[in-house]
Chain A
Amino acid sequence: MTAQFPPPVPEAGQRLLSHEELEAALRDIGARRYHNLHPFHRLLHDGKLSKDQVRAWALNRYYYQAMIPVKDAALLARLPDAQLRRIWRQRIVDHDGDHEGDGGIERWLKLAEGVGFARDYVLSTQGILSATRFSVDAYVHFVSERSLLEAIASSLTEMFSPTIISERVAGMLKNYDFITKDTLAYFDKRLTQAPRDADFALDYVKQHATTPELQRQAMAALTFKCTVLWTQLDALYFAYVAPGMVPPDAWQPGEGLVSEASQAKPGASGGKMAAGDRPRLPRGVRLRNDETRGKWVLLAPERTFDLDDNAVAVLKLVDGQNTVSQIAHTLGQTYDADPAVIEADILPMLAGLAQKRVLER
């Protein structure tokens, strides 16, 4: 790990910043590079991802969670001071728990199970993207090999995490019917743990970055950490959103799941539709040209839906393959209209049909 990350603030690295200036410079790195800005997270929080895309995120992110105590143990091993070690070891306790069934890793497993995964499959990490593994491993190496100051500074992304967690919890609960408050229990704890950890680390960095060069190193370490997080989302986006290139051996939708029937819970099925979903007409629902009356209709159990031209154009593209976004995009090209406007129009229509149980996703 010899790559130099450029200082984020031009004048930083040239003169010694006050504690306030240093904190501002560090926060500025987060404001521009933290992964809450990543398009994948925006999709996640806005409910635009399909269930499978949320699954891919939960599965890959598990590897990051699982390696955090490894990273912290490496750092702990290098701390010369009992008081510092007592403080830092709390992070390991938080993540590993005091006993079986406790701790942040366990809560993340619950989240993965909550979206349908079999526990053993998640634990095996066999389905994660290699980019996830490379990024996370790079982080562990960084913390093991760089100076203590850099190692501790790299944890400062925790300064920014309460914001993203609030956004995430609110957004995911609102937008995904398969996500419950229980599923997201991981984040409840982190809301209080992260600021406590960040306060300590920030104070340490302020006290120990005593030269312009050390301050530059601290900023570069935080930048590096932002990159570790960002890269993981790049990889998720590339594999599971667009262009959808899933590498060999990485998780494919349908793998590693507990069967739907055994995890079905009341109220968890139809009625919602997100831009990343791939709607389809289930067996027993058919789009048909009613020649006698000169119109297209949707035939469903005990009922017939009369369709307007717009609905027909949309439903002709509903094939279980196209996402709602892709349908909007195709219609945008056909009718020379803004796909974003079309998407906003057709989502409620599709959700309405899903609620009537004549459309699935």
Chain B
Amino acid sequence: MNAPTPAPSPADVIPAPVGLLAELTHRCPLRCPYCSNPLELDRRSAELDTQTWLRVLTEAAGLGVLHVHLSGGEPTARNDIVEITAKCAELGLYSNLITSGVGGALAKLDALYDAGLDHVQLSVQGVDAQSAEKIGGLKNAQPQKMQFAARVTELGLPLTLNSVIHRGNIHEVPGFIDLAVKLGAKRLEVAHTQYYGWAYVNRAALMPDKAQVDESIRIVEAARERLKGQLVIDLVVPDYYAKYPKACAGGWGRKLMNVTPQGKVLPCHAAETIPGLEFWYVGDHSLGDIWTKSPAFAAYRGTSWMKEPCRSCDRREKDWGGCRCQALALTGDAANTDPACSLSPLHAKMRDLAKEEAAENPPDYIYRSIGTNVQNPLSEKAPL
């Protein structure tokens, strides 16, 4: 027998993926200005066919994926959403429908329930219908959402409300909490906007000020205590005001894989913004090979790519350096420490940027849409 080799550091081991974010389509009736989809949206003609999605799910289950997030765009815009959900159930995958609740969502809900759907996450843009519909860019969306939510709980499906928080609705945080209780949701996500994709373009229109953010956190903490055992509230604070960054997607290439409508596999939904990364497609490779061998997943997995202050930091295997896309967008180098981290030399400047923007009058929203050539006002050079 050979001499035992030392156990590899956990950072060097490629763990099995836990979650698959299946962006089934970029089509969506809503046009939220903070949409996490890329600025360049996939067209319907480029979308994967049903058989390919079923194969991807089968491969995902084989790799050890437990949760599948059926997302988009609006996933119920796919005609095969019921078939895809049924496949998840057959494979023992936990299926989570991330939906706007508008368009054809309600019409398909009962069939999704029968197919074995496990959970529904419904987005709500606001509590007040008028402002909610201004943010979502779709008239009459709010009543549809309420009707959809009522049917979810009537079926006995667990419901999570997802509210993306920004300066246009941050005053409604107490209202979101009441709405979640009223609708019988078990969970509420009070998710401050993460400034990638469309949200990055609209940052000045969305950024709340620090006092508003602090107040929203205080309200959530009080509500958690008051509603213990009734409503679980998850709070995502805005990076720009945070002390430490989030482990983006649980660490690059550690937990999550994201398949785009046309089958490109990404370590996170914004990873395409990083130039020079080579992404593989499910049409060309098995999901397992993509996870373990594709250059994009290898690029920032583990800790060996890190620079200071990450490289010697005790937290490097907690937050894995934060978000690569944010580091790139704000500092010009994806391998830099995420400036959301207070240990980053650029953190103070990032915070100042947020403060300045929050203090200005908000510009108009740039709504997401397919095929519009968006001039990203921030894309020319890194601002920090």
Contacts and interface: CB of A to CB of B under 8 A. Distances in A.
Interface string B180-205: 01000011000000000000000000
A271 B157 CA distance: 19
Chain A interface SS verdict (over half): loop
A166 interface: no
B108 to A, nearest CB: 18
B242 interface: no
A268 to B, nearest CB: 8
Interface stretch (B164-172, B221-229, B278-286, B314-322): B221-229
Interface residues of A, number: 26
Interface in A180-228: none
Contact of B64 (A271, A284, A290): A290
B229 A304 contact: no
Contacts of A297: 66
Contacts of B18: 304
A297 to B, nearest CB: 7
Interface in A277-323: 282-286, 288, 290, 292-293, 297, 299, 301-302, 304
B345 interface: no
Contacts, number: 75
Contact of B94 (A268, A282, A286): A286
A292 B227 contact: no
B27 interface: no
Contact of A355 (B66, B92, B229): B229
B350 to A, nearest CB: 28
A292 B64 contact: yes
Contact of A282 (B16, B158, B187, B226): B158
B230 A356 contact: no
Contacts of B186: 301, 357
Contact of A293 (B16, B157, B232): B16
Interface in B71-109: 92, 94, 96
A80 interface: no
B315 to A, nearest CB: 22
B145 interface: no
A354 interface: yes
Interface in B134-175: 156-158, 160
Nearest to A271: B229
Interface residues of B, number: 27
A270 B232 CA distance: 11
Nearest to A265: B230
Given A283-B156, A292-B16, A299 B226 contact: no
B121 interface: yes
A4 B18 CA distance: 74
Contacts of B121: 301-302
Interface in B48-67: 63-64, 66-67
A284 B119 CA distance: 6
A304 B67 CA distance: 9
Contact of A288 (B66, B96, B156, B157): B66
B60 to A, nearest CB: 11
B272 interface: no
A159 to B, nearest CB: 40
Contacts of A288: 66, 92, 94
B94 A283 contact: no
A14 B64 CA distance: 83
B158 A284 contact: yes
Contacts of B181: 266
A115 to B, nearest CB: 18
A357 to B, nearest CB: 5
Contact of B157 (A266, A283, A302, A304): A283
B157 A284 contact: yes
Contacts of A272: 229
A283 B117 CA distance: 9
A290 to B, nearest CB: 6
A245 to B, nearest CB: 31
B251 to A, nearest CB: 15
B66 A354 contact: no
A267 B227 CA distance: 6
A302 B187 contact: yes
B229 A299 contact: no
A292 B16 CA distance: 8
A279 to B, nearest CB: 14
A271 B259 CA distance: 37
B209 interface: no
Interface string B14-29: 0010100000000000
Given A270-B230, A302-B187, A357-B231, 12 more contacts: A267-B228, A270-B229, A282-B156, A283-B157, A284-B118, A284-B119, A288-B66, A301-B118, A302-B119, A302-B121, A355-B228, A357-B187
12 contacts: A266-B227, A271-B230, A283-B158, A285-B158, A299-B66, A301-B96, A301-B121, A302-B121, A304-B66, A355-B229, A356-B232, A357-B232
Interface of B: 16, 18, 63-64, 66-67, 92, 94, 96, 118-119, 121, 156-158, 160, 181, 186-187, 226-232, 234
